[in-house]
């Protein structure tokens, strides 16, 4: 029967399919998330959202690099199996097998390049997140500042990188990692000009970071006012680590900084007085929102 000539060669693909199943199982076993031994809630450190995305990116890289050769060789293995069950060989059929394998190799090569570039971007973003997190840790002094710092606070549809609660105001801090550009002479160009609606980098411009920061401020201020019953002073800060910031044409509602003196700037900015009761309620609400009590640093001055 003619159809057996096409069906029987599939036997040679079974070992490759079994190896592909093993690869998929190993990929599903990869889970870098860590949960608290006290309440089983996920523990979130600075940049935890990026850590999760980086783990997913490495998992995708593992999948593409492992399954890519198997899938790319499958047409040729099938064709060699066909040789055992047919009397005559057709060069057109072999050309199709070779063409299909070549196309699959190109596709998986592009996927690997995409994964590599994605991992590089995520690692840069994670480095900046960790750097900003270390700066925020400098705010915590038991006899000086009653501050609370939250990392990766979830909203209804996105995540806020950092939220700092102080008696003088609440700060939404967004971090963006951008690689420095190179000039014609090979020197690094690290100056960014801030306008009301966009950031002008040396060779490109972006609007989304400012829009995302305003969105985070709007959500947090609205949510806290709804929960506390009173409007609270909330200000957004966009941190671009490693860049020189020109804020001559910037708007007044968002502070764009390099982050080198972040803790000092937060200590000096006074948005408005927050009572101790409201201050504690805000911290409680954020703890309930993010369920991050084991990882949130909170130190308060004793009451007089």
Share of the chain above pLDDT 70, in %: 81
The full DSSP string for the chain is -HHHHHHGGGGGGHHHHHHHHHHHHHHHT-----B-TTT-PBP--TTHHHHHHHHHHHHHHHHHHHHHHHHHHHHHHHHHHHHTT-SS--HHHHHHHHHHHHHHHHHHHHHHHHHHHHHHHHHHHHHHHHHHHHHHHTT-BTTTB--EEEEEEE-SSSEEEEEEEETTEEEEEEE---PPEE-TTS-EE-EEEE-SS-EE-SS-EESHHHHHHHHHHHHHHHHHHHHHSS---EEEEEE-TT-EEE-TT--SSEEEE-STTHHHHHHH-------HHHHHHHHHHHHHHH--TTT-EE--PPP-
Q: Give pLDDT, residue 219.
A: 93
Measured distance CA(162)–CA(128) in Å, rounded: 12
Q: Give pLDDT, residue 106.
A: 93
| Tens of pLDDT, residues 117-175 | 888 888 888 877 777 776 666 565 544 457 788 888 888 888 898 898 888 889 999 98
More confident residue, 145 or 214: 214
Q: Give pLDDT, residue 32.
A: 57
Q: Give pLDDT, residue 64.
A: 87
Residue 224 clears pLDDT 60, i.e. is over it: yes
SS3 letters across 209-223? HHHHHHHHHHHHHHH
Residue 295 clears pLDDT 70, i.e. is over it: no
Q: Give pLDDT, residue 37.
A: 42
Residue 292 clears pLDDT 50, i.e. is over it: no
Q: Give pLDDT, residue 301.
A: 40
* pLDDT (average), residues 211-232: 92
| Tens of pLDDT, residues 74-113 | 888 888 877 777 777 777 877 888 899 889 999 999 999 9
């Amino acid at each position: 029967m003619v159809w057996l000539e096409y069906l029987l060669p599939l036997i040679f693909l079974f070992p490759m399919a079994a190896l592909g199943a093993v690869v998929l199982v190993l990929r599903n076993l990869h889970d870098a998330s860590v949960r608290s031994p006290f309440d089983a809630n996920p523990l979130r450190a600075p940049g935890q959202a990026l850590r999760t995305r980086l783990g997913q990116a490495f998992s995708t890289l593992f999948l593409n690099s492992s399954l890519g050769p198997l899938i790319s060789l499958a047409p040729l293995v099938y064709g060699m199996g066909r040789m055992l069950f047919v009397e005559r060989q057709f060069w057109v059929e072999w050309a199709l097998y070779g063409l299909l394998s070549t196309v699959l190799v190109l596709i998986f090569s592009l996927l690997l390049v995409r994964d590599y570039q994605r991992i590089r971007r995520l690692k840069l973003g994670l480095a900046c997140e960790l750097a900003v997190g270390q700066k925020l840790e400098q705010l915590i002094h038991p006899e000086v500042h009653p501050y609370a710092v939250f990392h990766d606070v979830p909203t209804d549809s996105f995540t806020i990188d950092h939220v700092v609660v102080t008696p003088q105001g609440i700060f939404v801090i967004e971090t963006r990692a951008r690689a420095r550009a190179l000039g014609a002479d090979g020197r690094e160009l690290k100056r960014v000009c801030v306008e009301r609606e966009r950031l002008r980098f040396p060779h490109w411009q972006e609007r989304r970071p400012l829009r995302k920061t305003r969105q985070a401020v709007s959500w947090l201020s609205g949510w806290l006012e709804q929960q506390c019953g009173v409007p609270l002073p909330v200000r957004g800060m966009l941190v671009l680590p490693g860049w020189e910031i020109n804020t001559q044409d910037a708007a007044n509602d968002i502070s764009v900084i390099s982050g080198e003196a972040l803790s000092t700037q937060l200590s000096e900015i006074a948005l408005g007085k927050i009572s101790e009761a409201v201050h504690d309620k805000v911290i409680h609400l954020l703890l309930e929102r993010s369920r991050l009590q084991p990882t949130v640093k909170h130190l308060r001055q004793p009451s007089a």
